[in-house]
C-alpha cells in the first residue's frame, strides 16, 4: 500500500554543483549543461524537493544567463530565503565563530607582516599577488564568509533539508549545526537512487 502521507525529503543546493568547474563536470561540461542534466535527473526522482536560497539563485544568474535557464527549473527548484527573524541558533555557534575569526584575523596579520618583510626580495607586484592568495586562505577558506553561506545553513535548518555543497568550510559548519549533507560527487548517484 502506498503511503500518501510520506513527507518529501528536502534538498538545498549550493551553486557549486552548477558553476564550479571542478565539481559541475559530474553533470555537464558547461553550467547550462550541468543545469539541464540535473533537471533531467531531478524530474525522475519520486520523493525529493529541491530548494535554492534567493542569494544563491542570484549568484547563479551571474554565471548563467537567465534566458538559458530551462523553464521547468523554476518548477523543480524552489527559490526561497530562510526566515532571518524566526530562525535561531544556539549561542555556542556564535562563540565558535567569533573564536575562529579571531584566530584567522591574527593569522592574516602574520601573512601581511611577512609580505612587508619580503618585498625587498620579491618586488612589490609579486609580493602582492602572493599576499592576496595567502590572505584569502587565512581568512576566507574553510569558514562561513558570506550571506549566501548563512542562507544555505539557515534554510537547511528551517526545512530540515540536506545540503549539497562542494565548499568544505560550509559543510564543516553545517555539520556543527546537525545538518544532513552530501558531497556533489555522490549527488548524481543519490538522484538516480531516488528515481
Interacting residues with a copy of itself between 80 and 99 (CB under 8 A):
82-95, 97-99
Stretch that binds a copy of itself, among 7-15, 18-26, 40-48, 121-129 (CB under 8 A): 121-129
* Paired residues of 182 in beta bridges: 164
Which positions from 135 to 154 touch a copy of itself by CB under 8 A, shown as an x/- string? x---xx---xxxx-xx---x
Of the candidates 26, 48, 76, 112, which one interacts with a copy of itself according to CB under 8 A?
Answer: 112
- Dihedral sign for Cα 92, 98, 100, 102, please: negative
Stretch that binds a copy of itself, among 5-13, 46-54, 67-75, 76-84 (CB under 8 A): 76-84
189 binds a copy of itself (CB under 8 A): no
* Paired residues of 13 in beta bridges: 164
Q: In what order do the strands lie in the sheet with 77-79?
A: 77-79, 48-52, 9-13, 162-164, 180-182
> Coil, helix or strand for 12?
strand
Which positions from 31 to 70 touch a copy of itself by CB under 8 A, shown as an x/- string? ----------------------------------------
Closer Cβ to a copy of itself, 80 or 188, answer by number: 80
| Alpha carbon of residue 59 to chain centroid | 11
Is residue 161 within 8 Å of residue 11, measured between CB atoms?
yes
Helix (H) or strand (E) holding 20: none
Rounded distance between C-alpha atoms, residue 71 and residue 36, angstroms: 10
Give the binding site for a copy of itself (CB under 8 A): 82-95, 97-99, 101-102, 105, 108-109, 111-113, 115-117, 119-120, 124, 127-128, 131-132, 135, 139-140, 144-147, 149-150, 154
Amino acid at each position: 500500500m502506498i503511503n500518501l502521507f510520506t513527507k518529501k525529503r528536502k534538498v538545498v543546493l549550493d551553486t557549486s554543483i552548477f558553476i564550479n568547474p571542478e565539481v559541475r563536470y559530474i553533470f555537464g561540461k558547461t553550467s547550462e549543461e550541468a543545469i539541464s542534466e540535473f533537471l533531467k535527473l531531478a524530474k525522475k526522482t519520486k520523493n525529493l524537493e529541491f530548494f535554492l536560497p534567493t542569494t544563491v539563485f542570484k549568484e547563479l544568474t551571474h554565471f548563467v544567463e537567465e534566458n538559458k535557464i530551462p523553464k521547468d527549473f523554476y518548477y523543480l527548484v524552489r527559490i526561497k530565503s530562510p526566515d532571518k527573524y524566526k530562525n535561531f541558533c544556539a549561542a555556542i555557534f556564535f562563540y565558535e565563530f567569533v573564536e575562529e575569526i579571531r584566530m584567522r584575523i591574527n593569522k592574516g596579520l602574520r601573512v601581511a607582516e611577512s609580505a612587508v618583510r619580503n618585498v625587498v626580495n620579491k618586488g612589490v607586484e609579486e609580493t602582492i599577488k602572493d599576499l592576496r592568495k595567502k590572505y584569502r586562505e587565512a581568512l576566507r577558506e574553510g569558514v562561513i564568509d558570506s550571506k549566501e553561506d548563512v542562507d544555505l545553513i539557515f534554510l537547511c535548518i528551517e526545512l530540515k533539508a540536506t545540503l549539497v555543497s562542494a565548499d568544505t568550510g560550509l559543510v564543516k559548519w553545517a555539520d556543527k549545526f546537525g545538518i544532513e549533507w552530501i558531497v556533489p560527487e555522490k549527488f548524481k548517484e543519490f538522484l538516480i537512487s531516488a528515481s
